[in-house]
Structure 1
């Protein structure tokens, strides 16, 4: 007598191992997060360090773009999306802070860091080749050749000859490390804008930020003396002190679809 097993999957029925797929997905997420963190840890290899500067600059650009996108009343679902604007990264960050109702200590915050980073990234982005790499870490120096892009004397003619000018740029390891540290600070500030301006926007004005104080990368003078490492005798700001306008007033000014749920 022949029998059949009613529990046998029909032909074509899925035999996926969902637990294994979930584990693999989590592994990739964790691996990617570790890679993102390593981006801001300066390499002793100056050529890799310069690539880190380029990657960190693009990371900041894309974070600014995405914040602009998510803060749109009706974010587009097809191109064109918000395009990067390397000339105005710090200015755009300050605009985002105002848009999410956060106070800042000055109208120039992040400008110096972004200006230095953009200048170095532009040198690298227009690089033709390395001319020399000298020294050992932490005192390495790179000389690279690039064109003076968009400068008045970039191209010229003389006596029937045409000339395309090349210039030499010198970058020290210490300079690259400082720019990478600047970009880490800027990226951490973008994270703080998102947390305090968006994820914590349901918190009441009276809510203390003690539990998340470590995320804040700026300090406003009227909060009192800025605490130094190890200080314990000081009062943490409240969400109301971080905000430009009281929560109820600001929430009421938003389109209904963009108001916090609570």
Structure 2
């Protein structure tokens, strides 16, 4: 299975999964159809699945055109998003599994950004020694999504599920927000040397217009404050020892940053 990162709008990423021998493809969160169609046509691939993480327009905007071009495509999304995603045929819940390109894909229910958000995870399999996580807007590189429909407690529970995955998991989040996220992280976690080193690396990459996605979950655990709500230094900075309250105060400060 190959993964192609496609840019869309100002900072969105679309992820195209392809299996060249079978000439099939799946797409995660097609913001727009055109970039996807161009690659499918160029590589002679048949789109068999659309994998939506949640209902926001910048994640499902390409569904209609892709369905028109590939009427047999199957549209997957969370069960709680029923009626909110165009063309949805499969209503996924925590623990469900899908097979694509001989790889098993696991579903996590991760509400917080929205009430129905899900994430897709390919665990290591066979000769592949690392996992692939498609987490939409729940977990970002250096950050996390805004809480539009969920609570801090829900988001902490959701991020705990993702944080429990192996360090050797590639994280494919849906926006290029890393530099701004790390600028905030340095404000609340200034003595974190791993974070300082990462910021310098990302700053150089963005000056060259290089993408910072995918990231590695092991890196996120060391540098992303929204996965470190139980860190003593961050709890001290947020003036609470309660993990959920620490997260809530971090998120509140990020909203004002």
TM-score normalised according to structure 2 size: 0.22
Find the structure with the greater CA-based Rg: 1
- Work out which structure has the larger RCO, using CA pairs closer than 8 Å and 6 or more positions apart in sequence: 1
Which protein is richer in helix relative to its size?
Answer: 1
TM-score normalised according to structure 1 size: 0.22
Which protein is richer in strand relative to its size?
Answer: 2
